[in-house]
Chains A and B, each alone.
Chain A
Amino acid sequence: MRRFVLARLAQAVVSIFVLITVLFFLVRLTGDPVERMIPPQVTEEMAEELKRAYGLDKPLIVQYGVFLGGLVTGDMGTSLYFRGRTVGELLSLRILPSLELSVFSMLFSLLIALPLGVYAAKYRGRGSDYVARIFSILGGAAPSFLVGLVMLRIFSVQLQWFPTGGREGFLSVVLPTFTLGWFVSAGIMRLTRSSMLESLYGDYVKLARIKGVRESVVIWKHAFKNAALPVITYATVIFAAVIGGAIVTEYVFAWPGLGSLLIRAVIQRDFPVIQGAVILIGSAFVICNFLADLAYAWINPKIRYTR
């Protein structure tokens, strides 16, 4: 187990390194950030001076070296757009709201999607199956901005139950959670349903019934545990994606998350912030995948990791 964790950790460091290297050069293909930093009438000399100040005049490979050197000491650089603020500072402001929104929406969607998927499979072809499938199709098909705006209109503007945006207090997280959670739950529900359909017809489920096990135990203890594997894989990937990628939802609800920071950074060619955000999101992916691997071992002892 210890070796497995260490190997995984090494793997993670390598993949993040590759990720940031590719990214470092890719973002620089998008153009010169200085163009976005200054008004067009500024002289050539002033632009050159700015470039020097941010080290953008040096050859790419040197810039890359400086960037890596900074990373080792935990310094991700200074934002080009938010002058004078370090990337670390900006990210730390955004990561908490992002985590909060993604954790809440994941919990919400799992709470909805798992039972819905399980019982849709159990009662396949009957009323509850159709209700569950319609719920999931709507969640997957309705764009988040539409759902978000409709929610805002009804619950914030007309009923005034929730704030219209921002992140103040528990109430403010409800509508974004629902909007994002519904979208996410669509895929989880469908996957749960199809995976359950397979395991419900398994012989071990038959054997559980033969033993006289109660139907609810048959479903959750015997069938669901074996059906959960692909669902966990999917859910962790989605979770990681949602941490940095809930851009639309963040935008609609003026939620101060990573996604909106990243979008602004891309538009402004704010290289250090893009790099920092991607490192963060990449790490979230790696951590989530690692947790998923641990969950596999618990669910299916056949994939217990060798010492």
Chain B
Amino acid sequence: MLLEVTDLRVQFHTRRGVVKAVDGVSFSLDRGETLGLVGESGSGKSVSCMALMRLVEAPAGRIVGGSVRLDGQELLDLSEREMRQIRGGKISLILQDPLSSLNPGYTVGNQVAEAIRIHQGLRGSALRASVVEILSQVGIPQAERRLKQYPHQMSGGMRQRVAGAIALSCRPSLLIADEPTTSLDATVQAQYLRLLSELQEEFRFGMIFVTHDLGIVARLCDRVAVMYAGRIVETGSTRQIFNKPAHPYAKALLATLPSLESRKKRLLTVSGQPPLAIDLPPGCSFAPRCPETMDICTEEFPAEAITGDRHRVLCWLHSQAEEMSLPVR
């Protein structure tokens, strides 16, 4: 197992109280495997990703518990210095907006070189060659000539390729992509996703792909984790989740996918608002919006139900069915 996350908890201390942004997240990932992390804005996807790199904004944000093991090594116990070796070396992350994630004040060559210099200690012409190589690998034509260009001289798609080059320059074993294609237009998006898959074939890194777009998940991911209010409410293979979603939230999310058959009808939405992570209800966080809610849902948090091979659900519908063998309503 490449990555094992167990009961990860991240809290933010704000003036209005403690926000449990990530509240007991567990999942695992194999080398070469892609996990899609889906959920609404504010459900804790990005914070979870930053927490894997231990880059939650201090002092407000803190990782308060859990375990993150990469190749068997516990990351939460490492010193800051050791952690810097991991960042950009073993774990990399592609941010959402290539426009703002590249530093406007430095050339592309400089920014790609920085990570390689830090982690592989290359200098001079060897460094330069390495930068050109990775830029070509992410499909940037005439990479040699691009070294001296600044981010603003490139298109959005090219910039996101540069961000990809930075992320992959040190051959990480885990790549986190936090909605890397949201700001790209559709054709560029498709090219970029294909590129990521090809690079994954080649380098065999595990990938966590954060997205709103279930279409991308269907195409790209082996497994899916659905997040809601800081928790993973359902996780399983993409096939399982798309064919037979178990959690009402996952069902609702999938129902929002427009299809040709449904185009005469109105576009579906998940009704209601996601809860404020500041005052979560005592029971299941989704209960107020859930079409299948029961009495127990608002009283007690559901236990995890294992409904199949690596398929887990946090929902009373299934916990009950499994543990107490009561008929599902």
Contact = CB atoms under 8 A, between A and B. Distances in A.
A209 B87 contact: yes
B242 to A, nearest CB: 31
A21 to B, nearest CB: 40
A214 B84 contact: yes
A301 B105 CA distance: 6
Interface string B72-91: 00000000000011111100
A208 interface: yes
B100 interface: yes
B96 to A, nearest CB: 8
A206 B49 CA distance: 13
Given A211-B118, A212-B86, A212-B88, A206 B101 contact: yes
A210 B103 contact: no
A230 to B, nearest CB: 14
Nearest to A200: B57
A213 B166 CA distance: 12
Interface residues of A, number: 21
A302 B152 contact: yes
Contacts of A203: 95-97, 100-101
A128 interface: no
Contacts of B301: none
B115 interface: yes
Contact of B104 (A206, A209, A214, A226): A226
A222 interface: yes
A204 B55 contact: no
B298 to A, nearest CB: 37
B93 A210 contact: yes
Contact of A204 (B59, B93, B104, B118): B104
Interface in A222-257: 222, 225-226
Nearest to B169: A211
Contacts, number: 70
A226 B103 CA distance: 8
A212 B89 contact: yes
Nearest to B152: A302
A211 B93 CA distance: 8
A225 B92 contact: no
Contact of A222 (B85, B93, B103, B163): B103
A225 B86 contact: no
Given A204-B100, A207-B166, A212 B84 contact: yes
Interface string A272-307: 000000000000000000000000000111100000
B27 interface: no
A202 interface: yes
Given A212-B89, A212-B118, A302-B152, A207 B95 contact: yes
B281 to A, nearest CB: 31
Given A203-B97, A212-B89, A302 B104 contact: yes
B55 A206 contact: yes
Nearest to B91: A210
A211 B103 contact: no
Contacts of B152: 301-302
Contacts of A204: 100-104
A212 B119 contact: yes
Q: Majority SS of interface residues in chain B?
A: mixed
B108 to A, nearest CB: 11
B30 interface: no
B3 to A, nearest CB: 16
Interface string B103-138: 111000000001100110000000000000000000
Interface in A172-218: 202-204, 206-214
Contacts of B119: 212
B105 A212 contact: no
B232 interface: no
Nearest to A223: B103
Nearest to B80: A215
B53 interface: yes
Contact of B118 (A126, A202, A213, A225): A213
Contacts of A300: 104-105
Contacts of B84: 212-214
Given A206-B95, A301-B150, A211 B101 contact: no
Contacts of A301: 104-105, 150, 152
B97 to A, nearest CB: 6
Nearest to A214: B84
Given A203-B95, A301-B152, A302-B152, A210 B87 contact: yes
A7 B58 CA distance: 48
Residue among A206, A210, A213, A225 with most chain B CB within 10 A: A210
Interface string B250-277: 0000000000000000000000000000
A121 B59 CA distance: 13
Contacts of B163: 207
B55 A210 contact: yes
A207 B104 contact: no
Contacts of B167: 210
Residue among A208, A225, A300, A301 with most chain B CB within 10 A: A301
Contacts of B86: 212
B105 A210 contact: no
16 contacts: A202-B100, A203-B95, A203-B97, A204-B100, A209-B55, A209-B87, A210-B55, A211-B88, A211-B118, A213-B84, A213-B118, A222-B103, A225-B105, A301-B104, A301-B105, A302-B152
Interface of B: 53, 55, 59, 84-89, 92-93, 95-97, 100-105, 114-115, 118-119, 150, 152, 163, 166-167
Given A203-B95, A213-B88, 6 more contacts: A204-B104, A207-B101, A212-B88, A226-B103, A226-B104, A301-B150
Q: State the 5 A-B residue pairs at the shortest beta-carbon distance, nearest first.
A: A212-B88, A212-B87, A211-B88, A204-B103, A203-B101
